[in-house]
Amino acid sequence: MAILKFRIYFEEDDAVYRDVAIKHTQNFRDLHSAILKAYEFDNRHQATFYRSNDHWQRGREITLETYEKAYKAKPLLMAGTTIGSEIFDTNQKFVYVYDFNKNWTFLVELINVSKEESSKITYPAVTRTEGIGPQQYGTRSLLGDKFVDIEEKYDLTKGTEGFGVEGESGEIAETEETDENDESDDAVLGEEEAGGDEF
């Protein structure tokens, strides 16, 4: 059984990519899920692959489902199209588009074909990660669940009230200390003046 390794580049920065190994008998829906997992995106939006060439031009679509839009040719469906059936070149390319509103675009290139299947790997599998991927929903997703844990542990949502009260009491304490310092300074000055008369 052939194992195909694809390199999936983020279109806006080719230094950011993920390598995914997949069996040639698996389908495009499996590859679609693997790409989303590799880039830590959710699986809630529309998606499609396009057959492509060395210039990344978009050809026939292999889509998650048939959408209400104009197609140049009837699209293939991901679930019914095996990866192997669409490999016509040793460096076969596809363009993958996810979430048609945000238009996340990834360039998918075949970089290796192997006959050796590893019993330790569950395919499809992410085999390499390079660069910090785009954040699907902004900066909060950068930390994901970890941020929620930190927020709960340190009670960050109520921080503003606490800081206000603490700041006010701190100012009062500081004022009292200043008054005490002023009194002690006056006492020291008085002693120095009294001592000055003896000379």
* 43 shares a domain with 122: yes
Structural domains counted in the chain: 2
By percentage, how much of the chain surpasses pLDDT 90?
63
Q: Is residue 64 part of a domain?
A: yes
Q: Which two tokens stand for residue 131?
A: 């660069």
DSSP 82: B
Model pLDDT, residue 141: 43
Q: Is residue 178 part of a domain?
A: yes
* 86 shares a domain with 22: yes
Q: Is residue 149 part of a domain?
A: no
Better-scored residue on pLDDT, 127 or 153: 127
- For the question of whether the overall pTM of this predicted structure is more than 0.75, the answer is no
Q: Is residue 146 part of a domain?
A: no
Segment 77-106 shows an average pLDDT of: 96
Q: Is residue 30 part of a domain?
A: yes
Model pLDDT, residue 183: 53
Q: Is 199's pLDDT higher than 50? A: no
* 124 shares a domain with 37: yes
Q: Shortest CA distance to 36 belongs to which of 20, 51, 14, 57?
A: 20
Model pLDDT, residue 1: 80
Average pLDDT, the chain: 81
By percentage, how much of the chain surpasses pLDDT 70?
69
* 48 shares a domain with 134: yes
* 160 shares a domain with 134: no
CATH number, residue 10: 3.10.290.30
Phi, psi (rounded to 5 degrees) for 52: -140, 180
Query: Kindly report the CA angle at 87 between 70 and 42, in degrees rounded to 5?
Result: 60
Better-scored residue on pLDDT, 147 or 48: 48
Q: pLDDT tens across 25-44, in order?
A: 999 999 999 999 999 999 99
Domain that holds residue 80: 3-139
Q: Is residue 145 part of a domain?
A: no
Of 139, 171, 189, the one marking the end of a domain is 139
Q: Is residue 63 part of a domain?
A: yes
pLDDT grade for 23, boundaries at 50, 70 and 90? very high
Q: pLDDT tens across 97-116, in order?
A: 999 999 999 999 999 999 98
* 110 shares a domain with 25: yes
User: What is the DSSP track for 79-131?
Assistant: GG-BSGGG--STT-EEEEEE-TTTTEEEEEEEEEEESPPPTT-PSSEEEEEES
